[in-house]
Amino acid sequence: MKYSIGKTNRLLLEGLKIGFLLQIGSIGPICMLVFRLSLSLPVSKLLMGVVGITLSDLIYTFLAVLSVSAMKKIQQYQRILDIIVGIILIVFGVLFATTGNAVNSDTFGGHDLFIWLFGLNTANPITIVFIAGIFSLEMSKRDMDLKDASIFGFGFLLTTPIFMIIIIIIGKFAGAILPDIVVKILNIMMGIVLIFLGSKNVFWGKKSVEGGKKMRQRQEELRKLFKKNRALLNGHFKLSSGLHSDMYFQAALILQYPKEAVRLAEELAKKIKENNIKVDVVVSPALGGVIIGHEMGRALGVRAIFTERIDSKVSLRRGFFVDKNEKVLVVEDVITTGLSTKEAIDSLKSAGAEALVAVVSLVDRSAGKVDFGVPRFSLLSLEVKSFKEDECPMCKAGSNAVKPGSRK
């Protein structure tokens, strides 16, 4: 596929726009540090620091383009990164607060500043959260392939050196016109702020870790609940996508209990409400998504309808409809390749729907790898290997696949 100059420019501009919004919205210790250093260090050494920050952003942007799940794995070490960032900030804070405006060209070599700022930005939670979350979401919203995402990511990455250079220019200008006494006061104030931010990361960074711990505990509780009700099975299965897997989730076996169906739907609905997503109608692909979709409609106080497959075509039937401006939430029982979900979304677009707001599922077997162009949420995330029939190790071992789903 050839790329037109217009499309390339549009993707670059979109990346620049999102990048600048994130740079402005996430002004934090890195920006404050660069501003303070620009008051006294020469431009050549400051630019080495900018290279370090940009290289750090490049690594995370590269990971975000290739794999959202890779970024999620990095987030698992959030507590360790909090402590590293905290210690670095405290060191800089003490240095600024105690040396007045004596932080000069002799304090940092160019390579030293490169290493310090590269390490600080790499471990900075703000960097990880914003690039892993918002940047990845923007890519999925635009339904980009790898080449699209690379062009978009390049535009996004360009904002880092541009924004840092603007901070340096402001710092240099301020250093030239401000009296020494004001610079000394700024040093002390900046030092105190950095010490506070560093201490907060080291001693009060537990909350984000505890939140992650609770999430993992809830995931384990759900896994046990599904296994107890034989909804989560191990064996050799042929999925509706045609792929083979050693694990299968049979939602009907947990949703046959109305109380559990209500409770699970309310938990999913809570995620929608917490993210301030307005929903007018819930749509589920039949057959697996019908029960959980109906309960989601009840939990959100909106109508719930479903799509059906007739002669290999997915569509709305039985007089079901979606108005053009209605905000649609697609609800699934389980997502593996996302094919049936995408077919349902395509059928809704054919029916005139234009406002798909999110996709939710009880179980996400792709571990977040499938994108639908909108926010997505699940209760249980599993990274399960799936195989083409001719590549399936279980088939090669002589095992016969079982097709447990509703579609033959």
Helices (H) and strands (E) in the chain, counts: 16, 9
Cα–Cα distance between 150 and 65 in angstroms, integer? 7
Domains in the chain: ranges and CATH? 5-204 (no CATH), 213-396 (3.40.50.2020)
DSSP codes of every residue in 307-352: EEEETTEEEE-TT----TTPEEEEEEEEESSSHHHHHHHHHHHHTT
pLDDT along the chain (408 residues), means of 10: 61 82 68 80 87 87 64 58 69 67 50 79 66 59 64 86 91 79 72 75 58 64 86 84 83 91 93 89 90 94 91 86 89 86 87 85 79 83 80 88 70
Residue 126, pLDDT score: 61
So what's the pLDDT on residue 2?
Answer: 46
> How many angstroms separate the Cα of 182 from the Cα of each of 40, 101, 185, 188?
13, 10, 5, 10
What pLDDT, on the 0 to 100 scale, is given for residue 73? Answer: 53
Q: Give pLDDT, residue 1.
A: 41
What is the spatial distance between Cα 2 and Cα 327, in angstroms, rounded to a whole number?
A: 35
User: 315, 48, 26: which is closest to 165 by C-alpha?
Assistant: 48
Query: Look-up: residue for tokens 């002589």?
Result: 398
Of 202, 67, 214, the closest CA to residue 131 belongs to 67
pLDDT digits (tens, 9 = 90+) for 306-329: 999 888 888 888 989 888 889 999
Give me the pLDDT at residue 238, please: 87
Tokens of 177: 């016109």
pLDDT at 105: 46
Q: What sign has the CA pseudo-torsion 290, 292, 294, 297?
A: negative
Look at residue 62 in the predicted model and tell me its pLDDT: 78
pTM: 0.51
Q: What is the pLDDT of residues 198-239, one digit of tens each?
A: 777 677 655 544 545 566 677 778 888 888 888 888 889 888
The pLDDT assigned to 298 comes to 95
